[in-house]
Chains A and B, each alone.
Chain A
């Protein structure tokens, strides 16, 4: 199977600091990659470069298209979740999903399924009334709205209880089975993803 994304010789500097140098890896369907590094090691910057939010300094990104050709532009639907949850307090749990940019084209059934799957019982409750843990669950529910090709998630396992961690692992495995890939970041290696890239050692 052809990789969805090839990262070749990627380097990045910020204010004369070399964040990472000569990174090479491939994102394959159904497989995950974990980017590990300390604070300021460039994990978030790397995700943003991969998604095109930041211009590439040195190196090359090659994205697979529907005709199995590689291009410099991205045609794969990707999901990005940064440090913030992307949840609006003035919207209900259902509205947070139905009016999310990721819900574009998602059916009502899919939205209801996603909320049920993460354990949100009252779909019409305002998120301002929910706990941080429940808001995190709503943000995870958005992963299920569409069949995204690659999920780029910044530190998904930080500040989570065991139950929520298990839920994330279950959903990652569920989406992997459908061919989705995850590129996640973290401060230390998790037990769930075997393909790991250590940014601190790249400098």
Chain B
């Protein structure tokens, strides 16, 4: 049974990653979008180092949240349209595993490019080297939580307008935004940021089972 669940999980992950890599726009778009948003700030406001450094936590986190929502509606919509989502729910395998595999796939194709883009952005925004690691840690936790939230929004808006899932998800992303910016700001000011990271970790630990189960129920609502 245990190995069955692992095999089931990797079957879904392999399938979705293969499809995502054959459609390069899915992982290139968040990367480009993130870099464009971040590069607008020095152009539009001021290239002053201190000014940009003070804006950096908010800019990076807003860009990360928006980029992670770009492909959110695709998590289930294609499978719903072509009938494969029905098949997943008809098999006797746990639906929770299906949702978690799809969330992980979404994070791998959007969250990882965002991490790469944030590394480049830290140079554009003159972030001190000491804040790089806490920024990456907070983005790992935060973008994964955003993928979980995004999956729930995508499930609730299946078969409806693509923008609806982002509208559903954005208000729920405020705690992640606050914690994420607090981590980076604290790191820039050489303050302790571990408490904020722990809160983000706790949100993720609760979010993985909680939001995956809610997403399963949200998908099933579409059949009613």
CB within 8 Å of B: which residues of A? Answer: 48, 51, 53-55, 74-75, 77-88, 90-91, 95, 99-104, 152
Contacts and interface: CB of A to CB of B under 8 A. Distances in A.
B88 to A, nearest CB: 5
A53 B11 CA distance: 22
Contact count band on B: 20 to 34
A129 to B, nearest CB: 13
Contact of B22 (A55, A90, A102): A90
Contacts of A82: 83, 86
B7 A53 contact: no
B50 interface: no
B82 A86 contact: yes
A75 B14 contact: no
Interface string B75-107: 000000111101111111100000000000000
A75 B93 CA distance: 11
B83 A104 contact: no
Interface of B: 7-8, 11-12, 14-15, 18-19, 22-23, 81-84, 86-93, 220, 223-224
B92 A101 contact: no
B87 to A, nearest CB: 5
Given A53-B90, A78-B90, A104-B11, A86 B223 contact: no
Nearest to A48: B223
A82 B204 CA distance: 35
Given A48-B223, A99-B18, A101-B93, A88 B87 contact: no
A103 B7 CA distance: 11
B223 A104 contact: no
A20 to B, nearest CB: 16
A82 B220 CA distance: 16
Please give me the 3 A-B residue pairs with the lowest Cβ-Cβ distance, nearest first: A84-B83, A99-B15, A86-B83
Contacts of B220: 53
Nearest to A49: B223
Contacts of A54: 223-224
Given A79-B90, A99-B11, 15 more contacts: A51-B90, A53-B90, A53-B223, A54-B224, A82-B83, A85-B82, A85-B83, A86-B82, A95-B18, A99-B15, A101-B12, A101-B84, A101-B91, A103-B11, A104-B7
Contacts of A90: 18-19, 22-23
A75 B92 contact: yes
A88 B18 CA distance: 11
Contacts of B84: 86, 88, 100-101
A101 to B, nearest CB: 5
17 contacts: A53-B223, A78-B90, A84-B81, A84-B83, A85-B82, A86-B83, A86-B87, A90-B19, A91-B19, A99-B11, A99-B15, A99-B18, A101-B11, A101-B90, A101-B91, A102-B91, A103-B11
Contacts of B18: 90-91, 95, 99
A53 B89 contact: yes
Contact of A81 (B83, B89, B91, B224): B83
A88 B91 contact: no
Nearest to A139: B83
Contact of A87 (B12, B15, B82, B89): B82
